[in-house]
Structure 1
Amino acid sequence: MRQNTAFYQDDFDIDKRILQEAAARPGAEDRKILWFSRPSGTCCVRERDVFLKDTRQHNTWRFYGEQTRDIVLAYLVELTGKEDGKLKGNLYELDYGQHFRRVVEKSVPADNYALIYEHGERKQPAGQYFDGNPDPQLGKFECFEAQPNDPEALRGVLMEEQRSREKLRPGDFKAHITMLHDNRIEREARRVVEKMKSLQEPNSPDKTHFMVELSPYFVRLATEKDADRLFSMLPYKTLAFSKSKDRFGTYALIDKGEDRSKDVRKIRPSVRAQLAAGKEKTAPKKTAKTRQKEMEV
């Protein structure tokens, strides 16, 4: 979330509550949660509900694949319980584009809702109004959920999804976060370079420079080190980051005579970093007990 969601990060407070409640439920379906991060917020829904057509969860999951070009990071959270008050489970990285297409192709119709009360439940057509008031026989209203027309078909889809996840190799969480961080900076560098190439004439107020606004999402998330790294990846001799008096945002500016045909500059690891990596490879085993400084991301 901190690598991809620039605005509305407090959505994650809602996600945490949903995950806590799901972990306390006995059903396996209730403990499998799909989660995604987008530039303006996060979302947390049961996997089961996403694969039921026309539910709110299904439509939300599809929306960002059909209607926007947002960068969406998607995961399945498989909760297994709690230990010392902390949630435990497995986290599976998903390719949102591929997963979204599977949701479109394999979702199961659901024409009925189960209205769940403290002492039982009753069913009704999905389009029929209900107000959530207590039921005289069943007591306090607790929640509702869509019901598949063909429960076995839904069960088959979810089992197929589970089998596809079992083929994934174990990952390194720290390496994953580092990759997300590095990709975010490189993606912004490529966007700025392509935008610079597309400009037909200088567009600064005094017409002496080409200028491209840095993404507000990138600026919001970037540290000073991130900005320095972006600067070093952009292939321009006259580059400067600046704010404009008559416009909002931060801009990358280059002189109108600058060569704009160049591509993103790849940053090589520092000599110091390479030497340190070499020392780690050749160090005797007894040094493995020393504490290594964590990479800053």
Structure 2
Amino acid sequence: MGAVKFEGVDVLDFLGKVVELHTQHYKDDFDIDKELIQNLAACRNGENEQLLWMSRTCGTYCLWERDVYLQDSHENKVWRFYHEQTKDSILAYAIQLDGIQDGKVTGCIWPLDYHAHVERVKLLSCAIEKVSVLFQDGTQAVFPYDSYIQQINMFKAEHGTSKCVTWLPESERELQTILRREHVKRDYHAKPGDIQEYMDSLKKSTLRGKLKEVQAVAAFTRKPPSHKKEPER
């Protein structure tokens, strides 16, 4: 199947179906993803509407695309890890959130070639220069990237734990240019897809999908129990 995109879809329903077919353990991860996606769709905050999501055999991850393209950020390390360090089967997607309609999170979803995408991220990632941290008492501080962990620990005693960490690249303009080009390239090569056809293809290629098919066939072909009375001995 060539590059496809699914426009105007129920995002959580789509991802939930992927989880059911592919994620075997730690499905509770998806509950965290759903809460994040619902909150972002409700507030509609520009760059935060662009997400990367993966389904693994053991759990899921939902990450801001912007942060994945920043060298050595937490998100960058997570996205690269399963390509570089494990042999896990990964289904990966780019997501553009449109908002909430009739109580459902809607958006556009692009299935990704996970391993090829990681290699592109490695080539295009921008260096982090500073880290902006919001503390529990409302204090906002900016630290140099190479010492931010020590600085956060020093601030904790007076300002509480860190509530939000924002990576600041050496060049925000460069980062935004990379992201725009990636979005255009991704969208240009993708054709509108049929969700049911896509899910059917996953059933044939994923372990859980194959198991469900076997169980369905077995249930259909199983002979009904015989009600004939056994002859008396």
1:134–1:11 Cα change, 3 Å: same
1:221–1:41 Cα change, 3 Å: farther
Alpha-carbon distance in 1 for matches of 2:162, 2:89 = 38
1:64–1:105 Cα change, 3 Å: same
1:177 equivalent in structure 2: 199
Larger radius of gyration: 1
Alpha-carbon distance in 2 for matches of 1:31, 1:133 = 30
2:164 equivalent in structure 1: 143
Alpha-carbon distance in 2 for matches of 1:175, 1:134 = 55
Alpha-carbon distance in 1 for matches of 2:58, 2:209 = 11
Alpha-carbon distance in 2 for matches of 1:97, 1:224 = 27
Greater shift, 34-43 or 21-30, is seen at: 21-30
2:3 equivalent in structure 1: none
Picking from 30, 33, 43, the partner of 1:12 is 30
1:111 CA displacement: 2.7
1:120–1:165 Cα change, 3 Å: farther
Alpha-carbon distance in 1 for matches of 2:96, 2:26 = 24
1:183–1:155 Cα change, 3 Å: same
Alpha-carbon distance in 2 for matches of 1:91, 1:20 = 15
The C-alpha deviation readout for 1:122-145, integer Å capped at 9, x for no partner, is 310223221475977xx9953111
Picking from 130, 136, 144, the partner of 1:125 is 144
Cα contact 2:50–2:64 (8 A) shared by 1:
yes
SS in structure 2 of the partner of residue 112 of structure 1: strand
Amino acid at match of 1:172: D
1:93 CA displacement: 1.0
The question of 1:115 aligning with 2:133 is answered: yes
Q: TM-score, normalised by structure 2?
A: 0.75
The question of 1:160 aligning with 2:218 is answered: no
Amino acid at match of 1:174: Q
1:93–1:51 Cα change, 3 Å: same
Higher fraction of strand: 2
1:180–1:80 Cα change, 3 Å: same
Q: Percent identity?
A: 33
Alpha-carbon distance in 1 for matches of 2:210, 2:75 = 28
1:269 equivalent in structure 2: none
Q: TM-score, normalised by structure 1?
A: 0.59
Q: Considering only aligned residues, what root-mean-square deviation do their CA atoms show, in Å? A: 2.6
The C-alpha deviation readout for 1:63-109, integer Å capped at 9, x for no partner, is 11111222111001111111122111111111111111111110000
1:39 equivalent in structure 2: 57
Greater shift, 17-26 or 126-135, is seen at: 126-135
Alpha-carbon distance in 1 for matches of 2:177, 2:215 = 45
Higher fraction of helix: 2
The C-alpha deviation readout for 1:118-175, integer Å capped at 9, x for no partner, is 8673310223221475977xx9953111110111110111001110122111111111
Unaligned runs of 5+ in 2: 1-18, 219-233
Alpha-carbon distance in 1 for matches of 2:87, 2:29 = 20
2:94 equivalent in structure 1: 76
Alpha-carbon distance in 2 for matches of 1:84, 1:160 = 32
Cα contact 2:203–2:210 (8 A) shared by 1:
no
Amino acid at match of 2:117: H
Trace 1:248-287 onto structure 2 (pairs within 5 A): none
Alpha-carbon distance in 1 for matches of 2:176, 2:157 = 31
Alpha-carbon distance in 2 for matches of 1:220, 1:175 = 14
Unaligned runs of 5+ in 1: 185-217, 230-297
